[in-house]
């Protein structure tokens, strides 16, 4: 499969790959199946890649992962005999888990990918897996994808590193309006107006929605520059006034602000900081 990830999700995953050793159990949650599956493939490739900068998505190992042909990646499938999407405990044990302690064939590690684990794994299966996750054999990576990690047993969750992918952008009227005002504020350098606009949003969720909407405009602007036409007025304005490097810098700063929103941050300080960053980026020569 081809990996298709929104930039903020790709960045989060690559930061994880580059910052430390990959945790041995990872749950990837998010509302888009395409993003979840892509995220799992990216991490699986990173685990077996032989290039310096992992995952290169180009070496033999990466290619085999993307093609679903890697001998060291096991992807348990729903049992044919059972109803909708569940694997039986017997099949899970005999066909898959029995191989957990056998050395990998050609990579340095073995990967188990449980796609849509919230549907695939009943409680008995999760409990059986738990024993392996608690004391995993060496060089094994367990990847679970689920719409919501909460659908898995708390005992499984507590032993896993949970990655929450960003929500799919669904435009709403208020966020679209604010995104248009942010666009004007940024391209015309109305820093004060920009601050007033952002400060008028009371709740964290509203600010997050508006900044996400603005990120979407920036994304459209970047693809517009690469030749993909858009009718979006904001994206057109951004492209007329700003070069590519500035649009990328604006995207990064906006994503950083969204990440800070998830911490216990003082909103007014954050918005003031963000407006200063927007000005710095648009003014710099």
Nearer to Zn ion, 49 or 271 (CB): 49
Token duo for residue 267: 């909103």
Nearer to Zn ion, 113 or 117 (CB): 113
Please give the Cα distance from 257 to 42 (Å, whole number). Answer: 25
Residue choice 22, 49, 201, 238 for contact with Zn ion (CB under 5 A): 49
Please give the Cα distance from 129 to 108 (Å, whole number). Answer: 22
Please give the Cα distance from 252 to 7 (Å, whole number). Answer: 10
For residue 51, the minimal CB distance to Zn ion (Å) is 4
Stretch that binds Zn ion, among 17-25, 54-62, 68-76, 234-242 (CB under 5 A): 54-62
CB-CB contact of 200 with 276 (8 Å):
no
Stretch that binds Zn ion, among 41-49, 124-132, 140-148, 257-265 (CB under 5 A): 41-49
Strand-pair partners of 29: 146, 164
CB-CB contact of 48 with 72 (8 Å):
yes
For residue 17, the minimal CB distance to Zn ion (Å) is 11
Q: Which of 35, 99, 95 shows the shortest CA–CA distance to 72?
A: 99
Residue choice 40, 44, 62, 247 for contact with Zn ion (CB under 5 A): 62
* Inter-helix orientation angle 267-283/204-225, to 10°: 20
**Read out DSSP for 25-62?**
EEEEE-S-HHHHHHHHHHHHHHHH--SSSS--S-SHHH
Please give the Cα distance from 16 to 202 (Å, whole number). Answer: 32
Nearer to Zn ion, 44 or 255 (CB): 44
- ω into residue 55 within 30 of 0, thus cis? yes
Nearer to Zn ion, 43 or 49 (CB): 49
Stretch that binds Zn ion, among 21-29, 47-55, 136-144, 170-178 (CB under 5 A): 47-55
How many residues line the site for Zn ion (CB under 5 A)?
5
For residue 115, the minimal CB distance to Zn ion (Å) is 21
Mask: binding to Zn ion, 200-239, rule CB under 5 A, as x and -?
----------------------------------------
Residue choice 31, 33, 51, 82 for contact with Zn ion (CB under 5 A): 51
Please give the Cα distance from 198 to 220 (Å, whole number). Answer: 21
For residue 43, the minimal CB distance to Zn ion (Å) is 13
59 is a contact residue toward Zn ion (CB under 5 A): yes
Mask: binding to Zn ion, 237-256, rule CB under 5 A, as x and -?
--------------------
Nearer to Zn ion, 70 or 237 (CB): 70
Stretch that binds Zn ion, among 42-50, 89-97, 138-146, 234-242 (CB under 5 A): 42-50
Please give the Cα distance from 134 to 159 (Å, whole number). Answer: 7
Contacts of 243 (CB under 8 A, 6+ apart): none
Residue choice 56, 132, 187, 196 for contact with Zn ion (CB under 5 A): 56
14 is a contact residue toward Zn ion (CB under 5 A): no
Q: Which residues bind Zn ion (CB under 5 A)?
A: 49, 51, 56, 59, 62
């Amino acid at each position: 499969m081809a990996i298709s990830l929104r930039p903020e999700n790709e960045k989060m995953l690559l930061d994880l790959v580059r910052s430390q050793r990959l945790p041995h159990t990872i749950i990837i949650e998010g509302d888009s199946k395409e993003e979840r599956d892509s995220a799992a493939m990216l991490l699986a490739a990173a685990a077996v890649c032989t290039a310096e900068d992992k995952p290169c998505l180009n070496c033999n190992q990466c290619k085999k992962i993307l093609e679903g042909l890697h001998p060291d990646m096991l992807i348990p499938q729903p049992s044919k005999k059972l109803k909708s999407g569940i694997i039986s405990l017997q099949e899970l044990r005999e066909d898959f888990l029995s191989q957990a302690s056998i050395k990998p064939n050609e990579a340095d590690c073995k990967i188990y990918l449980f796609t849509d684990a919230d549907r695939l794994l009943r409680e008995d299966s999760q409990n059986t897996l738990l024993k392996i996750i608690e004391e995993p054999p060496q060089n094994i990576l367990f990847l679970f994808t689920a719409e919501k990690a909460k659908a898995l047993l708390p005992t499984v969750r507590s032993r896993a590193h949970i990655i929450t992918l960003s929500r799919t952008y669904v435009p709403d009227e208020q966020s679209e309006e604010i995104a248009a005002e942010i666009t004007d504020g940024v391209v015309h350098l109305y820093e004060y107006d920009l601050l007033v606009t952002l400060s008028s949003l009371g709740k964290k969720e509203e600010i997050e929605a508006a900044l996400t909407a603005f990120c979407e405009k920036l994304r459209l602007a970047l693809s517009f520059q690469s030749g993909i036409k858009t009718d979006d007025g904001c994206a057109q304005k951004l492209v007329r006034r700003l070069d590519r490097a500035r649009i990328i810098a604006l995207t990064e700063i906006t994503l950083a602000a969204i990440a800070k929103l998830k911490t216990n941050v003082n909103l007014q300080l954050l918005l003031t900081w963000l407006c200063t960053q927007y000005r710095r980026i648009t003014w710099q020569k």
